Structure 1
Amino acid sequence: MKWFSRFRSAAKAAVAGWKGNVFDFSGWAGRVFWGVDNAKLATNETIFSVISRLANTLSTLPIKLYQSYDIVTSQVSDLVTTAPNPNMTSFDLFNKLEVARNETGNGYAIIMRDIRMQPEEILPIDSSLVTPFLNSDDGHLWYQVIGDNGTHYVHNMNMIHVKHITGTSRLVGISPIKVLKNTLEYDKAVQEFSLSEMQKKDSFILEYGANVDSEKRQRIIDDFKRFYRDNGGILFQEPGVTVNELERKYFASDTLASEKITRSRVANVFNVPASFLNDSEGASFSSNEQLMIQFVQMTLTPIARQYEQELNKKLLTHDQRMAGFYFKCNLGGLLRGDTAARTNFYQVMLRSAGMTPNEVRRLEDLPPKSGPAEELWISGDLYPLEMDPRDRKASSEKGGEESEQAEETT
């Protein structure tokens, strides 16, 4: 009830600030949020590649609502895992938020609530239409949103805001593309220069002696023009006439070196391994598993944590959080490695009572089995964990005696 009272007082303050404007975002239902392409994102292959990889990877991560490690299904969990609004899936929502976060530094989505103040829809908003500010009256964070039917003010509890790093005095994230401004301008200049040099035709120096009369000189020039226009052919070099080709200063290696510098700087700014941008120079990973460990630990974990905390704070009530409810992204699937690595891991976990056979089957997308597959087993060789060690030994001795008796009988 404390949460509801706080939200109700915030809503009253918002109504006073709107001065009679109607709080209605229904006009955004069919809006094309990303109708304006960013020039760098739409024209730079390296930027497009790294943002696509981050957005697609985050969008495919399983995110569930848990209560003390058990998966829970509810209206709120359905918004996050399946259908945040009538026009898109959860993949689309997280993909748009992550693209906006990496493109502009900030990704926004408004939370629509029903009459019971429960989340009903989650709608992404164009980052250029949102401006966060602190209300001087209560010190709360608000968002100014320029909608189709006017300007609205949204309390921070109704706005999901994911961003890149911010300073103490900033409310918005820093755009990685702005950080890369000089790098992208340099890369564009090198590409334009390389393209112009490759499009140039070969140049020549045509020399002829001073004793060549004007009529013969004109024939020489006309003959050379024909040769140049036809891009080759036969050119008769008469006495007193010399043709020398001008050396071109363009080297393909210069363009390759420039592209490597650009890829390295883009990878540093977006905090991804350079090999993700097809740059293998300086790579020191002995396996793809080590590469994925670095990517998950240094790149994906902070991003996923930010999404989790935004969802926990703004979609769950205080009482729900105190009852043990929380959203969590499953990053384990990215670290399972190849078949051999997974097999060794599962064997160790099964024989040390770390996992049940059914938990292994779920990780491998196999249906669970009933009975002993739900129990923890310990090597000895493999008894139920709850069994008394004396019973294990007795069973072994009994088995040994039965073996001896069988041998004597034979």
Structure 2
Amino acid sequence: MSRIKAAFTRKSTSTTSSKAFSTWFVPRGSMFSNRSESALVTSEIIFAAVSRLANSVSSLPIKVNKSYAPVESSFSHLLTYQPNNNMTTTAFISLLETHRNIYGNAYAMLEYDNRAQIKALNVLDPNRVEPVIDSETKEVYYQVMGDSGTTYVHNTSIIHLKHVGHSGIKGVSPIRVLQGTLDFDAGVREFSVVQMDGAKASFILKMDTNVSDEKKMEMLQSFGQFYRDNGGVLIEEAGTKIERLDSKFIDSKVFDVDKVTRARVASVFTLPLYMIGEGAGQVSTSNMEQLYLDYVQGTLTPIVTQYESEFNRKLLTEKERKSGIYFKFNLNALLRADMQARGAFYQQGIRSGWFKPNEVRAWEDLPPVEGGDQLFLSKDLFPIDQVAAQRIGGADAPTAPTLSEGGENN
């Protein structure tokens, strides 16, 4: 415990301590982690999947709420403005999500001030962190390995985001699951390149007479230069015959391997296929809303729920949680439909007393207006409190619709 306390209370002016602390963040790859990092760089399918998830999660607004209303507190700025001195909230969450999808695990350590208040969240190198279980208390600690030594940190001081895993305390890397698929895909690509190299235009140049080796080289160079300069057009001269060698290009079925790879990557990362480039032409405005709904419900909701659970448990005290304070990602922005559908939805909500006008304006990034913080009912948009207090009467009272002869509402 004294080592943990010393790690959080050391002064930044200490060169030795600062150096020892900073090594926890320096990437130090193992053989497997290097393969994971390499897959991100060499596989455009993996890059598309990881960047899609990282960008989606990091772009979601996150707020500290109490009873459904945003609140300001001493800790809210950590995730809404600046988690540490080097990162914005967007960069912080994007890096965590990238680590989670490459290594299977992402870690951020809580840094405290002298009053034991959280002052920063620092992302750790996943290769330097290992969850362990205390043999006596059975509680989870995190072994943080630096070049100057190892420190054990209690689980309440480490934000840990992970994929599923058999132990429950450490996730499995999706890239490890896909390793066979990626190796096969790389092998097919290499084979295709070799075949394409062998499919270049080849010719047999026949001459009626024997010529010296020097003359042969001169004729070959002249032949090649003429072929390049004239876009592949050749002229047979007297005493010379040109015969093209037939070359077979790669089998068209080889390209099906790319589709299989995309399907398996999408399955492991629980992404819709069109989000990693497969079947993108089949997406239209008519089904875009449903596709995004599936993406939000099937992919993003479980991920942000994990983030919220970690933040609520480890950034809030028990007293704060009991008072109704919690972190919340706003997924509504991703569920917005086209302008016409949003307008109809907003109008229905305002006229039926669901939404306040200023709430709708906030969702559309518009400033509030005077009188927009109350609920309304239609006929025609009387304040709801006046209806409840029966302050509307006589000619202004809402009346039931009447039916015309054709059966339509008047």
The normalised TM-score by structure 2 is 0.82
Q: Deviations over 1:157-209 (max 9, x none)?
A: 00000011122x3421111111111111122122222223333433456789x
Written as runs of structure 1 = structure 2, the 5 A alignment for 1:154-173 is 154-167=153-166, 169-173=167-171
Render the CA deviation track for 1:232-273: whole Å, top value 9, x for unaligned. Answer: 34454859x78351322325x445422222222111111111
Which of 163, 172, 185 is the aligned partner of 1:187?
185
Q: 2:197: which partner in 1?
A: 199
In structure 1, the residue corresponding to 2:367 is in which secondary structure? coil
Whole-Å Cα distance in 2 between the matches of residues 282 and 398 of structure 1? 50
Unaligned runs of 5+ in 1: 1-10, 400-410
Tell me the residue number matched to 1:386. Answer: 385
Amino acid aligned to 2:258: E
How many Å separate the matches in 1 of 2:357 and 2:397? 27
Q: 1:398 to 1:279 in 2, by over 3 A?
A: closer
3-state SS, counterpart of residue 386 of structure 1: helix
Q: Contact 2:141/2:153 (CA < 8 Å) preserved in 1? A: yes
* CA deviation string 1:73-105 (max 9, x = no partner): 122111111111111111111111000000110
Return the offset for 1:52. Answer: 0.9
Q: Which amino acid aligns with 1:290?
A: Q
- For residue 186 of structure 2, what is the amino acid of its counterpart? K
Cα gap change, 1:312/1:112 in structure 2, threshold over 3 Å: closer, same or farther? same
1:403 is matched with none
CA shift for structure 1 position 381: 2.6
**Counterparts of 2:192 and 2:115 in 1: how far apart (Å)?**
62
Indicate the SS of the match to 2:75: helix
1:313 counterpart residue number? 313
Distance 1:228 1:268, change over 3 A: farther
Matched residue count: 377
* CA separation of 1:360 and 1:396: change in aligned 2, threshold 3 A: same
Tell me the equivalent position of 2:80: 81
Q: Is the 8 A contact 1:110 1:159 kept in 2?
A: yes
Deviations 1:199-222 (A, max 9, x none): 3433456789xxx88x46979965
In 1, Cα distance between equivalents of 2:116 and 2:214: 90
Amino acid aligned to 1:365: D
Q: Secondary structure of 1:263's partner?
A: helix
Q: Is 1:40–2:32 an aligned residue pair?
A: no
Q: Given the two structures, how large is their TM-score scaled by the length of structure 1? A: 0.82
Any stretches of 5+ residues in structure 2 without a counterpart? 11-16, 228-233, 400-410
Give the Cα separation in 1 of the matches to 2:83 and 2:24: 15
Alignment pair present for 1:246 and 2:266: no
What is the identity, as a one-letter code, of the residue corresponding to 1:129? Answer: R
Paired with 1:21 and 1:323, the residues of 2 have a C-alpha distance of 31
2-structure distance, mates of 1:172, 1:328: 24
182-191 or 55-64, which moves further after superposition? Answer: 182-191
Shift in Å, 1:133: 1.1
Shift in Å, 1:289: 1.3
Matched letter for residue 383 of structure 2: P
Q: How does 1:322-361 map to 2 (within 5 A)?
A: 322-361=322-361
Between the two proteins, what is the percent identity of the paired residues?
A: 38
Q: SS at the partner of 1:387?
A: helix
